[in-house]
Amino acid sequence: MQKTQEKRRTMKQVMLGALVGVLGGALVPLGAAQAAEKIKVGLMLPYTGTYAALGTAITNGFKQYVQEQGGKLAGYEVEYSVVDDESDPSKATENASKLVKRDNVDVLVGTVHSGVALAMAKVARDTKTLLIIPNAGADELTGPLCAPNVFRSSFSAWQPAYAMGKIVAERGHKNVVTVSWKYSFGEQSVAGFKEAFEKAGGKVAKELYLPFPNVEFQPFLTEIASLKPDAVFVFFAGGGAVKFVKDYDAAGLKKSIPLYGSGFLTDGTIDAMGGSGEGLLTTLHYADNLTNPKDQAFRKAYAMSYKIQPDVYAVQGYDAAQMLKTGLDSLKGAKFDKDAVIKAMAAAKIDSPRGAFTISKAHNPVQDIYLRKVEGRDNKLIGVAEKGLADPARGCRM
């Protein structure tokens, strides 16, 4: 009963809309300014739980760009629908569907957790909704599961790890042990590292995995000590990253076996490491002291608005908004047309605080990966590890 009523109401709205459209078209001369069109943005991000800080940073970054554009994107008023995804994959499909079907959003933006993002991508493909992923790095999203309407403003797990593989080989290490959590992001990071490192002549002696989110590293440290590799490559983030780096240092291994990591090891975690992180080398698509004017302006404005320094997550949120704006620009104020927006976004060159990047065929950023060194409380830039690195997008047919 309710459903038929709803249907009737929507029918009515459509008819009314059509009528207004026809009349409007007849009365208003071609190309004249109409009342500003709206764009509905569905933010589906974690605002509670382990990744709450990341979700907030991404939202702040997105809104920062909209604010810089005078509260509009390409002249479109932005209307937000916000859902806390709790980083819970079991609720992801329902949450995403709610935004698409109930709130009728034009574009979905989310999320941090790869498992949740995979479910969102499925909803986006099924409903043909435009999706911009501002963090989740699972290779599949722009690999086997790529789709014309799915974009990513962040990175693939493969990218920073691959760049580090080359660096570690260049620094003369031949024999490396890797440690990571046993879940897809960790395994993809290790695979990316291994690919570049072995291509450059190195050998991964052993891959150690422990179940997520276990953080009892002592047995592995003992094993590393007895294997005596030239270096160790790890993927950990958040509390696990802090604990690993501290334990590694406390076990005395930092002195004899250098430690390398994907950039998440030292992002937002340096303070908590309390000195144990000093000197660590990591690779990521962002660093703390980039010299481009865009980044300097961004950092200043962000710190003014939110009273904290931005991080890589804020940059990814900011760039999600930039990508959307580039797409909307192509419409020149006309009604939202997804296909035109997608075409423009795919061809875009984004002037990001991380440095300009383009979009790959599979819709992942083609970007510079930086080599950074922990100095004090910063991830100091010491060079470009890979220039314009594109994810191989294996399995993507598009």
Partner 1 sequence: MDFVSFLIQVLNSLQYGLLLFLVASGLTLVFGIMGIINLAHGSFYMVGAYLAFALTSLTGNLMLAIALGLPLAFVFGAILEWALFSHLYKRDHLEQVLLTYGLILIFEELRSLAVGDEVHGVTIPELFSASIPLSDNLSYPVYRLVISVVCLALAGGLYWLIQKTRLGMMIRAGSHDRDMVKALGIDINLLYRTVFALGVALAALAGMLAAPISSVYPGMGSSVLIISFVIVVIGGVGSVWGALVAALVIGFADTFGKVLLPDLAGLMVYLVMAVVLLWRPEGIFKKA
**Residues near partner 1 (CB under 8 A):** 48-50, 52-53, 56, 182, 208-211, 213-216, 218-223, 225-226, 228, 238-239, 241-243, 246-247, 250-253, 256-257, 268-269, 271-274
- In sign, the C-alpha dihedral spanning 230, 236, 240, 245 is positive
Q: Find the shortest distance in angstroms from Cβ 187 to partner 1.
A: 12
Query: Which is closer to partner 1, CB of 88 or CB of 329?
Result: 88
Q: Find the shortest distance in angstroms from Cβ 223 to partner 1.
A: 6
d(CA 322, CA 314): 12
Q: Find the shortest distance in angstroms from Cβ 212 to partner 1.
A: 8
Query: Which is closer to partner 1, CB of 158 or CB of 220?
Result: 220
Query: Which is closer to partner 1, CB of 24 or CB of 239?
Result: 239
The β-bridge relationship of strands 38-45 and 107-109 is parallel
Q: Find the shortest distance in angstroms from Cβ 242 to partner 1.
A: 4
- In sign, the C-alpha dihedral spanning 86, 158, 252, 383 is negative
Q: Find the shortest distance in angstroms from Cβ 152 to partner 1.
A: 24
Going through the chain in order, the beta strands assigned E by DSSP cover: 38-45, 72-73, 76-84, 107-109, 130-133, 150-152, 175-181, 203-210, 231-235, 259-262, 281-284, 349-350, 357-359, 365-375, 378-389
- Report which DSSP code applies to 245: H
Query: Which is closer to partner 1, CB of 71 or CB of 219?
Result: 219
Q: What share of the chain is helix, strand, coil (3-state, %, to 5)?
A: 45, 20, 35
Identify the CA nearest to 197 among candidates 276, 260, 120.
260
For residues 195 and 386, the answer to whether their CB atoms sit within 8 Å is: no
Q: Find the shortest distance in angstroms from Cβ 137 to partner 1.
A: 19
Q: Find the shortest distance in angstroms from Cβ 57 to partner 1.
A: 10
Query: Which is closer to partner 1, CB of 80 or CB of 183?
Result: 183
How many helices (DSSP H) and strands (DSSP E) are in the chain?
13, 15
Residues 6+ away with beta carbon under 8 Å from 142: 150, 152, 156, 360, 362, 363, 364, 391, 393, 396
Q: Find the shortest distance in angstroms from Cβ 251 to partner 1.
A: 6
Query: Which is closer to partner 1, CB of 211 or CB of 293?
Result: 211
Query: Which is closer to partner 1, CB of 207 or CB of 391?
Result: 207
Q: Find the shortest distance in angstroms from Cβ 175 to partner 1.
A: 15
For residues 77 and 37, the answer to whether their CB atoms sit within 8 Å is: yes
For residues 38 and 293, the answer to whether their CB atoms sit within 8 Å is: no
Residues 6+ away with beta carbon under 8 Å from 113: 46, 51, 85, 87, 89, 136
Query: Which is closer to partner 1, CB of 71 or CB of 275?
Result: 275
Query: Which string of b and e fits 28-47 if b means at least 16 CB within 10 Å?
Result: eeeeeeeeebebbbbbbbbb
Query: Which is closer to partner 1, CB of 274 or CB of 279?
Result: 274
